[in-house]
Amino acid sequence: MAVSVEDKPPIAREPAELPPALTLSPLTSKALPNWALKACMAITGTVGALFLAVHLLGNLKVYLGADAFNKYASGLRSFGEPYLPAESFLWLLRIVLLICLVVHVIAGIMLWERSRVARGKFKAKRTNGLRAWSATIQPISGILIFVFLIFHLADLTWGKVVAAQGFVETTATTSSAYQNLVHDFSRPWSAIIYVIMMILIAAHVGHGVSTVVHDLGSMGWRWRAVFVVIAGALAIVILLGNASIPIAVLAKVVTLS
Amino acid sequence: MSEETAFQAPATCVPGVKLGDILDSKIPDGDPATAWLRRRTGYATVSPANRKKFTVVVIGTGLSGAGAAAALGELGFNVHSFCFQGSARRAHSVAAQGGVNAARARKLDSDSLNRYVIDVVKGGDFRSREAEAYRLGIESVRLIDHMNAIGAPFAREYGGSLATRSFGGVQVSRTYYTRGQTGQQLEISAYQALMRQVQAGTVKLHPHTEMMDLIMEDGACRGVVVRDLFTGKLYAQPAHAVIICTGGYGTIYYLSTYAMGSNASAIWRAHRHGAYFAGPSLIQFHPTCLPVTSPYQSKTILMSESLRNDARVWVPKKKDDPRPPEQIPPEERDYYLETRYPAYGNLVPRDVASRNGKERVDAGYGVGPLKNAVYLDVTDAVKQLGAKVVTERYSNLLQMYRQTIGEEPLEVPMRISPNTHYTMGGLWVDFDLMTNISGLFCGGEANYAYHGANRLGANSLLSTSVDGWFTLPFSIPNFLAPRLSETLPAMNDACVLDAVDRTKARVEALTSIHGTRTSTDFHRRLGDILFEECGLVRSKESLTKGIKAIQELRAEFWDDLKLPGEGEGVNQALEKAGRVADFLELGELMCVDALDREESCGAHYRVEHTEGGESLRDDDHWMFTSAWQTQAPSAFDGNPQMSFTRHMEPLEYKNVHVARRNYK
Amino acid sequence: MKLTLDIWRQKDSASEGHFETYEVDDLDPGMSVLEMFDRLNEHLILEGKEPVTFESDCRESICGCCGVTIDGHPHGPTPHMTTCMQRLRQFTDGQRLRIEPLRAGAYPVVQDLMVDRSGLDRIIAAGGNVDVDAGSAPDAEALPVEHATVEKALDFAVCIGCGACVAACPNGAAMLFTGAKLLHLSLLPMPKIERNRRAERMVAAMEGEFGACSLYGECSAVCPEEIPLTAVAAVQHERLGALLARKL
Q: What is the CATH number of the domain that holds A65?
A: 1.20.1300.10
In 3D, which of C183, C228, C218, C221 has the Cα closest to residue C202?
Answer: C183
Alpha helices in A14-65 (DSSP H): 34-60
Distance from CA of B83 to the nearest CA of A (A): 11
With CA atoms as reference, the chain B residue closest to A20 would be B206
Quick: pLDDT tens for B87-103.
999 999 999 988 999 99
What average pLDDT does chain B have?
Answer: 93
Which of B359, B385, B420 is where one domain is finished?
Answer: B420
Q: Which chains touch C (3 or more CB pairs under 8 A)?
A: A, B
Whether B402 is in a domain gets the answer yes
Is the pLDDT at B436 greater than 80, yes or no?
yes
Is the pLDDT at B569 greater than 70, yes or no?
yes
Write down the pTM of the prediction: 0.95
DSSP calls for C84-138: GG-BGGGSPTT-EEEEEEPP-TTS-EEETTEE--HHHHHHHHHHSS----TT-PP
- Does one domain contain both B515 and B618? yes
Residue A216 to residue A206: CA distance in whole angstroms: 16
User: Residues of C numbered 78-117 whose beta carbons fall under 8 angstroms of chain B's beta carbons: which are they?
Assistant: 81, 85, 87, 89, 110-112, 114, 116-117
| Among C60, C114, C184, beta carbon nearest to B95 | C60
**CATH 1.10.1060.10 in chain C, residues?**
118-244
Residue B54 to residue C134: CA distance in whole angstroms: 20
**Cβ contact A211–C214 (<8 Å):** yes
Chain C contact for A117 (CB, 8 A cutoff): yes
Chain C contact for A141 (CB, 8 A cutoff): no
| Among C85, C110, C117, beta carbon nearest to B570 | C110
Under 8 Å between Cβ of B642 and B585: yes
* Interface size between B and C, measured as CB pairs under 8 A: 225
Counted domains in chain A: 1
3-state secondary structure B614-631: EECCCHHHHCEEEEEEEE
Is the pLDDT at B354 greater than 50, yes or no?
yes
- The CATH code of the domain at C3-111 is 3.10.20.30
> Can you give the pLDDT at residue B663?
66
> Can you give the pLDDT at residue A175?
85
Chain C contact for A94 (CB, 8 A cutoff): no
Under 8 Å between Cβ of B99 and B147: no
Chain C contact for B87 (CB, 8 A cutoff): yes
> Can you give the pLDDT at residue A6?
55
Whether B263 is in a domain gets the answer no
Distance from CA of B227 to the nearest CA of A (A): 9
User: In B, which residues are within 8 Å of A18 by CB distance?
Assistant: 235-237, 491
Residue B436 to residue B382: CA distance in whole angstroms: 55
Residue B57 to residue B81: CA distance in whole angstroms: 6
| Sheet-wide strand order for B78-82 | B203-206, B78-82, B55-59, B241-244, B440-442
User: In B, which residues are within 8 Å of C124 by CB distance?
Assistant: 89, 191-192, 195
Q: Which chains touch A (3 or more CB pairs under 8 A)?
A: B, C
**CATH number of the domain that residue B406 is part of:** 3.90.700.10
Quick: pLDDT tens for B289-342.
998 888 889 999 988 877 888 899 999 999 988 999 999 999 999 999 999 988
ipTM above 0.90, yes or no: yes
What average pLDDT does chain A have?
Answer: 91
Counted domains in chain B: 2
Quick: pLDDT tens for C40-80.
999 999 999 999 999 999 999 999 999 999 999 999 999 99
User: Residues of C numbered 83-142 whose beta carbons fall under 8 angstroms of chain A's beta carbons: which are they?
Assistant: 100, 103-107, 118, 121-123, 125-126
Question: DSSP state, B363?
Answer: I
**Cβ contact A39–C236 (<8 Å):** yes
- Does one domain contain both B389 and B296? yes
3-state class (DSSP) for residue A68: helix
User: In B, which residues are within 8 Å of C188 by CB distance?
Assistant: 151, 153
Give Rg (Cα) of chain A: 28
> Can you give the pLDDT at residue A1?
43
Is the pLDDT at B48 greater than 80, yes or no?
yes
Quick: pLDDT tens for A51-64.
999 999 999 999 99
Is the pLDDT at A110 greater than 80, yes or no?
yes
B3 falls in which pLDDT band (50, 70, 90)? very low
3-state class (DSSP) for residue B593: helix
> Can you give the pLDDT at residue B167?
79
Of B318-327, C129-138, C165-174, least confident by mean pLDDT is: B318-327
Whether B103 is in a domain gets the answer no
In 3D, which of B414, B428, B407 has the Cα closest to residue B628?
Answer: B428
Looking at the DSSP bridge assignments, the partners of residue C211 are C173
* Interface size between A and C, measured as CB pairs under 8 A: 161
Which of B391, B420, B449 is where one domain is finished?
Answer: B420
- The CATH code of the domain at C118-244 is 1.10.1060.10
Quick: pLDDT tens for B443-493.
999 999 999 999 988 999 999 999 999 999 999 999 999 999 999 999 999
Whether B428 is in a domain gets the answer no
Whether B426 is in a domain gets the answer no
- Does one domain contain both B514 and B407? no
Buried b (16+ CB within 10 A) or exposed e, B137-171: bbbbbbbbbbbbbbbbbbbbeeeeebbbeebbbbe
Is the pLDDT at A252 greater than 50, yes or no?
yes
Whether B91 is in a domain gets the answer no
**Cβ contact A22–B207 (<8 Å):** yes
Which of B420, B446, B467 is where one domain is finished?
Answer: B420
For A98, the domain range is 35-119+130-167+175-250
A216 falls in which pLDDT band (50, 70, 90)? very high
* Number of neighbouring beta carbons within 10 Å of residue A149: 14
Question: DSSP state, B490?
Answer: P
User: In A, which residues are within 8 Å of B634 by CB distance?
Assistant: 4-6
- Does one domain contain both B416 and B502? no
With CA atoms as reference, the chain A residue closest to B236 would be A18
Question: DSSP state, C57?
Answer: S
Whether A13 is in a domain gets the answer no
Is the pLDDT at B635 greater than 70, yes or no?
no
B345 falls in which pLDDT band (50, 70, 90)? confident
Question: DSSP state, A164?
Answer: P
Quick one: C116 exposed, middle or buried, by C-beta within 10 A (0-12, 13-18, 19+)?
middle
B182 falls in which pLDDT band (50, 70, 90)? very high
Is the pLDDT at B411 greater than 50, yes or no?
yes
B650 falls in which pLDDT band (50, 70, 90)? very high
Q: Which residues contact B506 (CB under 8 A, 6 or more apart)?
A: B212, B213, B578, B636
A7 falls in which pLDDT band (50, 70, 90)? low
- Does one domain contain both B498 and B620? yes
Chain B contact for A3 (CB, 8 A cutoff): yes
User: In C, which residues are within 8 Å of A20 by CB distance?
Assistant: none
User: In A, which residues are within 8 Å of B505 by CB distance?
Assistant: 3-5, 8
Chain C contact for A222 (CB, 8 A cutoff): no
Question: DSSP state, C75?
Answer: S
Buried b (16+ CB within 10 A) or exposed e, B48-75: eeebebbbbbbbbbbbbbbbbbbbbbbb
With CA atoms as reference, the chain A residue closest to C16 would be A121
| Among A2, A15, A17, beta carbon nearest to B509 | A2
DSSP calls for B384-395: HH-HHHHHHHHH
Cα B436 to the chain's mean position, in Å? 20
Chain A contact for B566 (CB, 8 A cutoff): no
> Can you give the pLDDT at residue A81?
84
Is the pLDDT at A2 greater than 60, yes or no?
no
> Can you give the pLDDT at residue A80?
83
Report percent pLDDT > 70 for chain B.
98
B351 falls in which pLDDT band (50, 70, 90)? confident
> Can you give the pLDDT at residue C72?
96
For B580, the domain range is 492-650
With CA atoms as reference, the chain C residue closest to A120 would be C105
Of A78-92, C101-115, C222-236, least confident by mean pLDDT is: A78-92
> Can you give the pLDDT at residue B2?
44
Chain C contact for B198 (CB, 8 A cutoff): yes
User: In B, which residues are within 8 Å of A13 by CB distance?
Assistant: 492, 497, 501
